[in-house]
């Protein structure tokens, strides 16, 4: 795993450092679900959200179980050692069959690099942090203005996350 983190670190160094225009609010986003239906993020106004970049073939995949217990939006990404190679349909099947995932999952996107999705540009602009690995987490406040970053190794039911969700 340590080598994988080193590779990820160096690939991040060589990605574009050009400033990108980002959205003003998380509620401005409209992103397709794994099933292909467009989801308007304005429906989440007033809710605390935990956004997580996921991967089916990652050692942190067991976190799906804990993620089912908090309000989560999942974003499959193939940015770390190609650990999410499947199609949207394959990802959806894997999540339901193996982990009973019931939280909203969105189409596969890129969470870093030159093709970084605008949502993750926004999250990075708000926190100054980009995902360190699969299952990195961003907790967005109910008003959509505050975002707290948690590294991939932090469990979904970690005391720090739960305290912020319940505050």
Residues annotated catalytic, as ranges? 58
- Three-state secondary structure along the chain? CHHHHHHHHHHHHCCCCCCCCCCCCHHHCEEEECCCCEEEHHHHCCCCEEEEEECCCCHHHHHHHHHCCCCEEEEEECCCCCCCCCCHHHHHHHHHHHHCCCCCEECCECCCCCCCCHHHHHHHHHHCCCCCCCCCEEEECCCCCCEEEECCCCCCCCHHHHHHHHC
C-alpha 107/C-alpha 31 separation (Å) is 8
C-alpha 162/C-alpha 133 separation (Å) is 21
The residue whose two tokens read 């605008």 is 118
């Amino acid at each position: 795993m340590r080598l994988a983190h080193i590779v990820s670190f160096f690939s991040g160094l060589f990605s574009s450092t050009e400033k990108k225009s980002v959205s003003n609010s998380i509620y401005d986003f409209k992103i397709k679900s794994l099933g292909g239906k467009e989801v308007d993020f304005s429906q989440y106004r007033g809710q605390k959200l935990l956004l997580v970049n996921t991967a089916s073939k990652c050692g942190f995949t067991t976190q799906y179980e804990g993620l089912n217990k908090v309000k989560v939006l999942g974003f499959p990404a193939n940015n770390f050692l190609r650990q999410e190679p499947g199609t949207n349909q394959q990802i959806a099947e894997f999540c339901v069959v193996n982990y009973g995932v019931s939280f909203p999952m969105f189409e596969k996107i890129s969470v870093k690099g030159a093709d970084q999705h605008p949502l993750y540009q926004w999250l990075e602009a708000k926190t100054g942090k980009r995902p360190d690995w699969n299952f990195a987490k961003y907790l967005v406040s109910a008003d959509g203005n505050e975002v707290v970053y948690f590294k991939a190794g932090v469990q979904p039911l970690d005391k720090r996350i739960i305290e912020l969700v319940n505050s």
